[in-house]
């Protein structure tokens, strides 16, 4: 029986090792219902996943190491009580060297993790490291306002030259509006300005690995890049009130041409004056 425990404690590191080995291929730990399946739907998201897996490998290695050490000690101890073994019990009063080692080694590992992920964090959060398309976090595609319990979105309108106007900090007569429907072009970084209309919310695109709190009174730039066209989920990830559960929207990534077509459609819809096209003979004024 006494050796049973050695094997019992040796069994778990094997399980952990196997799980860790197959985890990335099984896609257990990441949202996997978007257009890209198990893979993150944005380039930076893939790098975030890599960071996650690196930490998983480090923790698995640590777990296996400590379990093996435990098994070794148990096995040795079990051998001492075997029949005919004359060895006596001995007491230890700690080992300064050992303690230094098990302080320094984890500290180095943690320091390594902290330094290793800095590049990614910088690209996600620090404006000066934002992709060139956002011009250092100054050019946004839309203003997203979180409010209880919906996402209101303001896009800049389309100018006379058929191109998008810049998004101004204050609403403009040409602006276009949608609710719960954020549209971005596929395959290029897009930046939004995140605001809150009331309490704290969080802008969460699970498939793109984007999560940013919306704080009342702050304009927070958030950028992301959808690598594949399709519908993604946009959720609120901060408990914001009784209707938090229903604060769900969609992010639609479309090819550039389709995206512009959507914007043109939206312009037409938003300027709709209730007069059916066929009866336009009396038309006067604009358009």
Of 243, 255, 264, 265, the one binding another protein (CB under 8 A) is 243
- Is 253 in contact with 184 (CB distance < 8 Å)? yes
142-147, strands of its sheet edge to edge: 176-179, 150-155, 142-147, 190-196, 220-224
For residues 267 and 264, give the distance between their C-alpha atoms in angstroms, rounded to a whole number. Answer: 5
Question: How near is the Cβ of 180 to another protein at its closest, in Å?
Answer: 4
Site pattern 195..234 for another protein (x: CB under 8 A): ----------------------------------------
Q: Which two tokens stand for residue 26?
A: 């099984």
Of 86, 242, 257, 278, the one binding another protein (CB under 8 A) is 242
- Across the strands, what pairs with 147? 150
Based on the shown chain and the rule CB under 8 A, indicate whether residue 138 belongs to the binding site for another protein. Answer: no
Based on the shown chain and the rule CB under 8 A, indicate whether residue 94 belongs to the binding site for another protein. Answer: no
For residues 182 and 61, give the distance between their C-alpha atoms in angstroms, rounded to a whole number. Answer: 42
For residues 249 and 236, give the distance between their C-alpha atoms in angstroms, rounded to a whole number. Answer: 9
Cα distance between the two ends of the chain: 89
Span interacting with another protein, options 6-14, 21-29, 103-111, 143-151, rule CB under 8 A: 143-151
Question: How near is the Cβ of 151 to another protein at its closest, in Å?
Answer: 8
Question: How near is the Cβ of 237 to another protein at its closest, in Å?
Answer: 17
Helices marked H in 163-235: none
Of 181, 188, 213, 258, the one binding another protein (CB under 8 A) is 181
Span interacting with another protein, options 36-44, 77-85, 128-136, 170-178, rule CB under 8 A: 170-178
Q: Is the dihedral of CA 206, 229, 134, 236 positive or negative?
A: negative
For residues 95 and 80, give the distance between their C-alpha atoms in angstroms, rounded to a whole number. Answer: 22
Instruction: Please say which residue, 24 or 230, places its beta carbon nearer to another protein.
Output: 230
DSSP 249: E
Site pattern 246..265 for another protein (x: CB under 8 A): xxxxx---------------
Other C-beta atoms within 10 Å of 127: how many? 13
Question: How near is the Cβ of 239 to another protein at its closest, in Å?
Answer: 16
Q: Which two tokens stand for residue 209?
A: 């690995």
Question: How near is the Cβ of 215 to another protein at its closest, in Å?
Answer: 20
Give every CB contact of residue 36 below 8 A, 6+ residues apart in sequence.
Answer: 207, 227, 228
Question: How near is the Cβ of 170 to another protein at its closest, in Å?
Answer: 8
Span interacting with another protein, options 37-45, 55-63, 70-78, 149-157, rule CB under 8 A: 149-157
Based on the shown chain and the rule CB under 8 A, indicate whether residue 33 belongs to the binding site for another protein. Answer: no
List residues binding another protein (CB under 8 A).
Answer: 148-150, 152, 171-173, 177, 179-181, 242-243, 246-250, 269-276, 280, 282-287
């Amino acid at each position: 029986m006494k050796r049973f425990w050695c094997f019992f404690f040796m069994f778990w590191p094997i399980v952990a090792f196997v799980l860790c080995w197959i985890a990335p291929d099984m896609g257990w730990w990441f949202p996997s219902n978007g257009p890209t399946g198990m893979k993150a739907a944005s380039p930076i998201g893939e790098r975030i996943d890599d960071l996650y897996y690196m930490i998983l490998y480090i923790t698995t290695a640590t777990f296996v190491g400590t379990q093996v050490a435990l098994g070794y000690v148990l096995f040795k101890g079990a051998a001492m009580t075997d029949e005919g073994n004359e060895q006596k019990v001995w007491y230890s009063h700690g080992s300064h060297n050992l303690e230094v080692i098990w302080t320094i080694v984890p500290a180095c590992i943690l320091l390594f993790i902290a330094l290793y992920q800095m590049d990614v964090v910088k690209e996600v959060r620090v404006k000066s490291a934002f992709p060139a398309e956002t011009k250092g976090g100054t050019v946004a595609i839309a203003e997203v306002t979180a409010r209880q319990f919906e996402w209101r979105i303001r896009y800049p309108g389309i100018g006379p030259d058929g191109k998008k106007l810049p998004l101004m900090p204050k609403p403009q007569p040409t602006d276009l509006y949608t609710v719960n429907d954020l549209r971005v072009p596929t395959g290029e970084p897009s930046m939004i300005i995140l605001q809150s209309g009331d309490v704290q919310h969080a802008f969460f695109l699970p498939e793109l690995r984007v999560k940013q709190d919306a704080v009342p009174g702050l304009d927070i730039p958030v950028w992301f890049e959808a690598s594949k066209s399709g519908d993604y989920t946009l959720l609120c990830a901060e408990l914001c009130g009784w209707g938090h559960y229903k604060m769900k929207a969609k992010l639609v990534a479309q090819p550039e041409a389709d995206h512009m077509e959507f914007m043109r459609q939206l312009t037409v819809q938003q300027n709709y004056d209730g007069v059916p096209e066929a009866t336009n003979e009396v038309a006067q004024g604009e358009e």
